[in-house]
Amino acid sequence: MKIALILLPLLLATAAAAQNSALKGHNTDAPIDVDAARIEVSDKANQAIFSGDVHIRQTDLKLDADSVKVFYLRPKTGDPTIQRLDATGNVVMTSPTEKASGRLGIYDVTQRQITLIGDVVLNRGDSVLRGQRLAIDLDSGRSTLDGANAPGKPGEPATGGRVSGRFVVPPRNGSN
């Protein structure tokens, strides 16, 4: 019991560190670079679909996926403004200290939110968390990982799930 009480503060500190995203204060106004095998633009719908091993970079944020749909606004003058990116297939988001993967990723540039859905795995160092929905608030840096799956078809309840993880506690100097 003593060991559990001694380790509890270390586990809570590691969990708190994992909860705060390294993307706090991420500059959503920075240029977004895209590399893909193909692009299809639908100007009337203000959408572009990048496909084929898509790589997106914005400062320290990296987003990789099979396909990414970009929603944008086209002002009467000037460049289009990206509103949101929807990534599907082998979605991986990487920051300097974290890596997260899932089946679907949504980067809402306007709302400054990133969401990963479906078989989400979040890695920070050797620590790992698993769940079904990861939400990251870029203003506060707060991350939330839920175990419940995304809602099913209309009228059907979401299926249950749990968050699981392993927090690796670094050894303390001079202790056993």
Q: In this predicted model, what pLDDT tens digit does every residue of 54-90 receive, in sequence order?
A: 999 999 999 999 999 999 998 888 888 999 999 999 9
Give the pLDDT score at 175: 58
**103 φ, ψ (degrees, to nearest 5):** -85, -30
**How far is residue 150's CA from residue 168's CA, in Å, rounded to a whole number?**
28
Secondary-structure breakdown of the chain: helix, strand, coil percentages, each rounded to the nearest 5: 10, 50, 40
What are the structure tokens assigned to 152, written together? 């099913």
Per the model's pLDDT, the better-predicted residue between 22 and 47 turns out to be: 47
- Residue range 6-25: mean pLDDT, rounded: 47
- Residue range 32-49: mean pLDDT, rounded: 95
In the predicted model, is pLDDT for residue 103 greater than 80?
yes
Q: Which residues fall within 8 angstroms of residue 171, CB to CB, at 6 or more apart?
A: none
Q: Taking the domains of the chain in order of start, what are their residue ranges?
A: 2-166
Per the model's pLDDT, the better-predicted residue between 88 and 168 turns out to be: 88
2-166 maps to which CATH number? 2.60.450.10
**How far is residue 91's CA from residue 107's CA, in Å, rounded to a whole number?**
12
Give the pLDDT score at 29: 85
Burial of 3 (0-12, 13-18, 19+ CB in 10 A): exposed
